[in-house]
Amino acid sequence: MTKIKLFFFTLLLVFNFHNVSNSQSVPASFADLAEKLMPSVVNISTTQTVVTRSNPFPNFQFPPGSPFEDMFKEFGTPQERQSSALGSGFIIDEKGLVVTNNHVIQDAEDIIVRVSGNKECKAKVIGSDPLSDIAVLQLETKEKFIPVKFGNSDSARIGDWVIAIGNPFGLGGTVTSGIISARNRSIGLSRYEDYIQTDASINSGNSGGPLFDMNGDVIGINTAILGRSGSIGIGFSIPSNNAKIVIDQLVKFGETKRGWLGVRIQDVTKEIAEVEKLDEPRGALVASVAENSPSDKAGVKAGDIILEFNGEKIVEMKELPMIVAKTEVGKKVKVKIWRNKKEIIKNITLGRLETSEDFKVAEKKAKPKEINIEKLKITVRELTKEDIATRKLPNQTSGLVVTQIANDSPLVKSIEINSIILEAQKKKIRNIIDLNQVLDQVLSSNEKTLLLVILNNQNQRRYIGVKLN
């Protein structure tokens, strides 16, 4: 009897394992899928002219932004150089509509798109959106193309197989595979974040390329990686369901039209939930309400906790901006609020974010000045308090944030955009002047070898040695 029970128990285990393992079987090969999809994936190269002025008085250095700096620049000789960038994209319409990342084509003067490995077409920007980092291009040709289809990113599960196709390091037509490692990731890159994390190898040049499921449908746009100089198995993609809303608006209007509530929000902590007699920490706490905003007109007050928006429960604060942004401008929605230890309903007619005063003020905020370091062929800016807070660095941290890297830079394979230069030749770098002084010393020496200390995008300290010409 015991043997019979053991037999049936073993049989049950085998049966269950078989069912689990076959929920999405391991592909024997990705070859057929890759062959089908590759004609729809494009390589993108852009060029822009960067103008710099040589210092006619190299022995004199002035703080960035000082009147003396601007005055002496007038005496410098303008120097132009072509800066180029590489990225990926994919075709969504037979007439040649291409989707990519905004940062791939931002400020580009010329955009060249290579299709099916060797056909080159010029492209123009139909619309772009820095907030979501999405852009739509139109190929300037009368040829017909094979478009891809969007899949349902909401149905993609952790552990599902995916493939990425793109142009890493200029090596077009590159296929990598992996799984979905996580969902709903926030990494501090943009206002609206809900990334799919994947371990499919993604590198510089993959930006804007598609992440496919096993049906050959696009479920993500490859946008960011973690790693010092390449993939370490942690890449991030914009979910297709979020991207498609933006893409449709860019195609239709040439711009985005996002819903706007007009509130500043924060997390509901355990302590706040206890004080407010809320059953558990959930929702979004209203820290302030913009004057004459939709929320202000509807009677929303600071201290309110938004529990539901248009029928969708708000579990975490970060969910609310994304849901509001997806909602049609001008739509009247019901918002469930926790106030004075009870639920109330407010009917709010949404405004448009892009025309709101909040947005205009944010757009007008002075961006840190970017300076081209010709000797290294990179562009940098000084580290700000916002950078320190966002990246959770010690308050005393100083350095330069790398914003652009030319393809012919001696550092192109050693660092990545958003790396922070902390030291050069074992000297602390506080500003542009410090770095330029060190570079002058290195170039006047016999060795011409530069030693940098950087923080990569994982906030890991790294030493980098590079030979300068």
The residues carrying an active-site annotation are 103, 133, 207
Q: Cβ(41)–Cβ(89) under 8 Å?
A: yes
d(CA 397, CA 422): 8
- What phi, psi does 128 have (nearest 5°)? -145, 155
User: Sign of torsion, CA 298 303 309 310?
Assistant: negative
Q: Which stretches does DSSP call E strand in 272-373? A: 284-289, 305-309, 312-313, 332-339, 342-349, 351-352, 370-373
Residues in the chain: 469
* Residues contacting residue 74 through CB under 8 Å, at least 6 positions apart: none
Residue in the structure block whose two tokens are 């931002």: 106
Give the DSSP letter of residue 150: B
Please give the span between the terminal C-alpha atoms of the chain, in angstroms, as a whole number: 83
Give the DSSP letter of residue 354: G
Counting Cα atoms < 13 Å in the Cβ hemisphere of 242 gives: 23
Which H or E element spans position 454?
Answer: strand 449-455
Instruction: Tell me the two tokens of residue 3.
Output: 């043997």
d(CA 245, CA 104): 20
Q: Is 325 helix (H, G, I), strand (E, B) or coil?
A: helix
403: how many CB neighbours lie within 10 A of its CB?
A: 16
Residue in the structure block whose two tokens are 């994209």: 89
d(CA 428, CA 438): 10
The alpha carbon of 468 is separated from its chain's Cα centroid by a whole number of angstroms, namely 31
d(CA 338, CA 14): 50
Can you list the alpha helix ranges (DSSP code H) found in 92-239?
102-105
* Residues contacting residue 342 through CB under 8 Å, at least 6 positions apart: none
